[in-house]
Amino acid sequence: MTNILLTIIAVLLLARIVLQIKQGKRAVEKGYAASSEVETQVVVCNRSQYHIREVCDMMSSDRWELVAAHRTKNQNEILFFTRKKIKNYYEE
């Protein structure tokens, strides 16, 4: 009796895996990802390597990407960050 139940459970698990693979292939074929929102932020910090690294680490922990860095006349650094929200779309 136990062997029969184990066999049924194994067959059902295998069928579930096969169905998930088919649905995944269909989603990949008919789906695409695009950025839905783009946020930007400008941070001014001291030009020292320590401060720049601290700001970059802090921003990257919140999923911000460093886009550009420019020097200012008063020994500071302007850092430009951006963050995108990716949304998946599926065509039917």
- What is the rounded CA–CA span in Å between residue 55 and residue 66? 10
CATH, domain range 2-90: 3.30.70
**Could you read off the pLDDT tens digit of each residue along the chain, which spans 92 residues?**
788 888 998 999 998 988 888 877 776 667 677 777 888 999 998 888 888 899 999 998 988 999 999 998 888 999 999 988 877 776 66
- What is the rounded CA–CA span in Å between residue 15 and residue 25? 16
The β-bridge relationship of strands 31-46 and 65-71 is: unpaired
Write down the pLDDT at residue 90: 67
Write down the pLDDT at residue 82: 93
Write down the pLDDT at residue 66: 92
Counting Cα atoms < 13 Å in the Cβ hemisphere of 43 gives 21
Q: Look-up: residue for tokens 């895996």?
A: 17
